[in-house]
Amino acid sequence: MSNRHSQRGSIAFWLLIVMFLVGVASLVYGVSNSGARPDFALFTVSFLFLLGISQAGVVFTACLRLVESDWGKPWYRLAELSTLAYFPFAIIGFLLIINFARDDLFYWLHASPEEHLSPWLNLNWLVIRDLGGLLIFYGIAAVYARMSLRPDMAEGDAATSIDYDEVENRLYRFSPIVLIAFIACNTLIAWDLAMMLIPHWHSTVFPIHYWFGNVFAGSAAMIAIVVVMRSTDGGAHFGPYQIKSLGMLVTGFTLLWLYFFWAQFFVIWFGNLPTETEPLWRQMYGHYSPFFWTMIAGCFFVPFVFFLFAIVKRSVFAMCFVAFAINLGVWINKYLMIVPVFSPDHRPQRFSFLWQVAEPDHKKLCPEEIQPQKSKAGDQHAQALNLIRPKMRSAIGPAHDYDYRNHRSKACEHVAEPVVNRENGAVPMWDQHHCQVPGD
């Protein structure tokens, strides 16, 4: 039995090595050949995703040590080493993005001299703070992992003289430092490689939503360690108690993810500022809507419904399915942060039928055409309609204004001529008095 598990593990290991070498060769060829330039939009998305879930390994162990959990001990070593294993790829990937994708990512690099940019929007300062944040985090993670591995690396008399309780106490006191470094590093990455890509868009909750999404996906991905270990030594250390406890943890993280998402969404929706709502409406109602709702399903609906049944938390196969859905949702979340910046009118050709929009009903799209029925409550009806019109326009407008960069919205041609307003970086919005698309 052990020989069979060892053979499976060896095959999986060499398969991963071959896939890695093919990926590296493809990247080198694309960078060196101008005719085969790699897709740096998807590269940036995958880089941020892998960076987040790999850093979550040491965060996972730090959180479990702070709450003095016993069920998570079988994960400690591999989770900590998975974080350190990604360190060289984190640095190389970041430098590749800065060197080859910066012109497409950072709009402020090509700002006109009349614009007064914040000192924060500086490429050299961006490299210093982000690269410094990565180095500090991985340095702290390396110290933490070495402290954790010290009893395992000791030999002879040194092994018998180690006070294991003292080692655990040091790791317990050091765990908050790991969490602080993780939050600081991911906050900088969230600001510079996600939030600052959209002009004038900001959200106080966004960095929290970003780094917690990484913890959420990384914790769910811990089930992969169980699968790998069971293929090598039978997974004797990962019993039903460990699987069930991991499922309960991910269930709590599912609800927390929804809370942070809603905290950001509700403030943007209630504020109803065009510079904040336009990127969100474009994701929810535009060409990217299938991706958006897949993200919501993967990050909330699938794990929430599945974890209602106790049998799911006892099955490794079911846990793998839920973990895949969660990680797919988090990957799409980062896709929606990056890809619209590269391609605002992106439509994957293979799935073009999903983006076909039916001819809009002018009466429904332009509430000005709606005349309230004359009745005893006519005045109250008109007043109520006037109150909800701004929200109706802000919610409906961007869904049908996806091609505002090229031509005016067909839904508004019969109402008013488009308004030319390029001052202050105007974005598509629906005016309270006219059905119009600024920026035409």
Instruction: Mean pLDDT check: name the lowest of 34-38, 57-61, 312-316, 317-321.
Output: 34-38
* Pure H helices in 221-301: 223-232, 240-271, 274-285, 289-296
HSE of 326 in the Cβ direction (CA atoms, 13 Å)?
A: 33
Per-residue pLDDT for 153 more than 70? yes
pLDDT of residue 257: 96
Residue 197 Cα distances to 38, 121, 202, 290, angstroms: 20, 11, 10, 22
Where does the pLDDT of residue 329 fall: very low under 50, low under 70, confident under 90, or very high at 90 and above? very high
Rounded to whole angstroms, how far apart are CA atoms 312 and 15? Answer: 29
For residues 297, 303, 304 and 308, what is the CA-based torsion angle, rounded to 10 degrees? 140
- Judge whether 404 and 421 are in contact, CB under 8 Å: no
Give per-residue pLDDT as tens, 187-246.
Answer: 999 999 988 888 878 888 999 999 999 999 999 999 988 887 776 666 678 888 999 999
pLDDT of residue 175: 95
DSSP 157-199: HHHHT--HHHHHHHHHHHHHHHHHHHHHHHHHHHHHHTGGGST
Per-residue pLDDT for 107 more than 70? yes
Residue 40 Cα distances to 12, 23, 193, 204, 211, angstroms: 28, 14, 13, 27, 22
pLDDT of residue 150: 83
Q: Between these two residues, 376 and 6, which has the higher pLDDT value?
A: 6
In the predicted model, what is the mean pLDDT of the chain? 76
Task: Give me the residue label for tokens 């985090």.
Answer: 137
Share of the chain above pLDDT 90, in %: 40
- Judge whether 281 and 288 are in contact, CB under 8 Å: no
By C-alpha distance, which of 238, 191, 231 is closest to 211? Answer: 191
Give the global pTM.
0.74
Where does the pLDDT of residue 390 fall: very low under 50, low under 70, confident under 90, or very high at 90 and above? very low
